Amino acid sequence: MTRQSSVAVDVKGSPSPLAGLARSARIIVCCGSGGVGKTSTAAAVAVWAAAAGRRTCVLTIDPARRLAQALGLDLLANAPRPVKGKGLPTGGPGSLDAMMLDMRRTFDEVIERYARDEEQVDRILANRFYQRLSSTLAGTQEYMAMEKLYELHESHRYDLLVVDTPPTRSALDFLDAPDNLNELLDARAFRLLIAPAQRIGRGYLRGLNLATTAMTKMVRRVTGSELLAEVGEFFAAFEGMYDGFKERAGLVYDQLKHPSTAFVVVATPDGAALHEAAFFAGRLAADRMPLGALVVNRIHRAGPVPQVPQAARRRLAAGADGRLLADLLELHDGLEALAAAEQRRVRELLVSVPSLGVVQVPLLADDVHDLPGLRRLGEHLFA
């Protein structure tokens, strides 16, 4: 599949909106709150796309151990590895690779790649502020996921990249991540804060100048001076790399907006998860990101059973099997009510995003933790 042909995402006539996406999108980003089956959904989409003949790579952040094993994921590699197992394409056009993101390693690699020389690399990697920035700062993980995504995208090794976003405080932080990190890395802004008075200039800037001097004092007093020194050293070491970061963040953002990208929002029919999904869909729409589909996992369904009036149920209390049947009916009522409540909640969500294609996946009997499990999940996703 060539790069050009993948732009149009046509889902008409295909029963699942995911089928069209998995056939033609270049990037699928799965987002949703934690615990909704995002990682397995991403992996199942990738397995299906590989079987459909595409060179596919699934990029995941924090997979469950058994699923990671099934995918042959190895954190130490921080690079895609082929997934081996029954039912995966061998020798055909399609293939499946998987990788697990190591945020710190990715950040280090970015520094190594874009630094002037060894000395700059060493200075940055040894800096305590950098160490904290690269491993704990909220937003860095999202940014690094996007950085890795862009790197893989540019390598042209794959027809399709499926990304599983990290389950963060707001799982859409990655949309802000380039901005946040840029704001942070904009050494100019920081210099403004720590600059001696004379560097700032004259005239209308004088007010700001006064403010920043006061702020410098405050930061010193509140944090002690070591923090400032570390931060200052970091920005000194980072000199010259800032523009590259800014430029790539822009490129990543543009790629995410491109019509060959599709965002898939994953949820469960639980109120909180759907609430988050609505927030996601709204946020993506506001940023004009290409919204592909909504996947709702773990849907309950009740079979067809005629209504049995209460009077008739009371007569069932006679024997053990009768009482059992009465309990079965009550369980069925509960299941029906649950299924109806779930459908109502999904419909309510769709009011806010009317055009979004929905894929509902029934509650599966077992946790998905191996390739056959992913294929079974795929059958529901692409039914």
Partner 1 sequence: MLDALDQVRLLLVTGKGGTGKTTVAASLAVAAGLRGRRTLVAEVEGRQGLAGLFGRRSLDHREARVAERVNALAIDPDESLREYLARYGFAPLARLLTWAHLNRFITAAAPGLGDVLLVGKVWEAATRQARDSQEAYDLVVLDAPPTGRVVPFLRAPQTVAELARVGPIRHQADRVRDLLDNPERTAVVLTCLPEELPVTETLEGVVSLRAAGLPVAAVVANRVTGDRLGGRAGRLAALAKDPAPLRAAAAAAGVELDGPALGTLLGEARDRQRQVARERRMLKELRAGLDRLPMVELPFLADGAGSPEQIRILADRLAPAEPEVRPRGRARRAAVGGAGG
For the segment 31-50, give every residue that binds partner 1 (CB under 8 A): 33-36
Tell me: does residue 129 bind partner 1 (CB under 8 A). Answer: yes
CB of 274 to partner 1, least distance (A): 9
Alpha carbon distance 61, 17 (integer Å): 25
Tell me: does residue 120 bind partner 1 (CB under 8 A). Answer: no
Tell me: does residue 226 bind partner 1 (CB under 8 A). Answer: yes
Tell me: does residue 286 bind partner 1 (CB under 8 A). Answer: no
Tell me: does residue 161 bind partner 1 (CB under 8 A). Answer: no
Which one of 22-30, 51-59, 90-98, 221-229 is the stretch in contact with partner 1 (CB under 8 A)? 221-229
Q: What are phi and psi of 288, to 5 degrees?
A: 55, 40
Closer of 34 and 201 to partner 1 (Cβ): 34
Q: For the segment 243-272, give every residue that binds partner 1 (CB under 8 A).
A: 268, 270-272
Nearest to 174 by CA among 18, 32, 359, 6: 32
Closer of 167 and 372 to partner 1 (Cβ): 167
Q: Which of 330, 348, 352, 383 binds partner 1 (CB under 8 A)?
A: 330
Count of residues in contact with partner 1, rule CB under 8 A: 76
Tell me: does residue 176 bind partner 1 (CB under 8 A). Answer: no
Query: 């082929």: which residue's tokens?
Result: 82
Q: For the segment 352-371, give every residue that binds partner 1 (CB under 8 A).
A: 365, 367, 369
CB of 341 to partner 1, least distance (A): 5
Q: Which of 204, 304, 351, 355 binds partner 1 (CB under 8 A)?
A: 304
For 13: left if phi > 0, alpha if psi spans -120 to 50, otherwise beta; the answer is left
Tell me: does residue 12 bind partner 1 (CB under 8 A). Answer: no
Which one of 23-31, 48-56, 87-95, 331-339 is the stretch in contact with partner 1 (CB under 8 A)? 331-339
How far is residue 273 CA from its own chain's centroid? 15
Nearest to 208 by CA among 192, 191, 232, 187: 192
Strand partners, 82: 97
The answer to whether the Cα torsion of 229, 233, 238, 239 is positive or negative is positive
Nearest to 20 by CA among 32, 9, 7: 9
Tell me: does residue 187 bind partner 1 (CB under 8 A). Answer: no
Q: Which residues contact 347 (CB under 8 A, 6 or more apart)?
A: none
- How many Cα atoms within 13 Å fall on the side-chain side of residue 115? 18
Tokens of 200: 């700032």
CB of 208 to partner 1, least distance (A): 7
Contact 236, 243 (CB under 8 A): no
CB of 103 to partner 1, least distance (A): 12
The three-class DSSP label of residue 294 is strand
Q: Which of 308, 343, 372, 376 binds partner 1 (CB under 8 A)?
A: 308
CB of 258 to partner 1, least distance (A): 28
Q: For the segment 190-209, give every residue that binds partner 1 (CB under 8 A).
A: 190, 193, 208
Contact 374, 368 (CB under 8 A): yes
CB of 141 to partner 1, least distance (A): 10
Q: Which of 12, 86, 156, 169 binds partner 1 (CB under 8 A)?
A: 169
Q: Which of 2, 4, 65, 355 binds partner 1 (CB under 8 A)?
A: 65
Closer of 160 and 177 to partner 1 (Cβ): 177
- How many Cα atoms within 13 Å fall on the side-chain side of residue 361? 28
* Residue 364 DSSP class: P
Nearest to 191 by CA among 227, 216, 220: 216
Q: Which of 133, 293, 295, 346 binds partner 1 (CB under 8 A)?
A: 133
**What is the pairing mode between strands 95-100 and 81-82?**
antiparallel
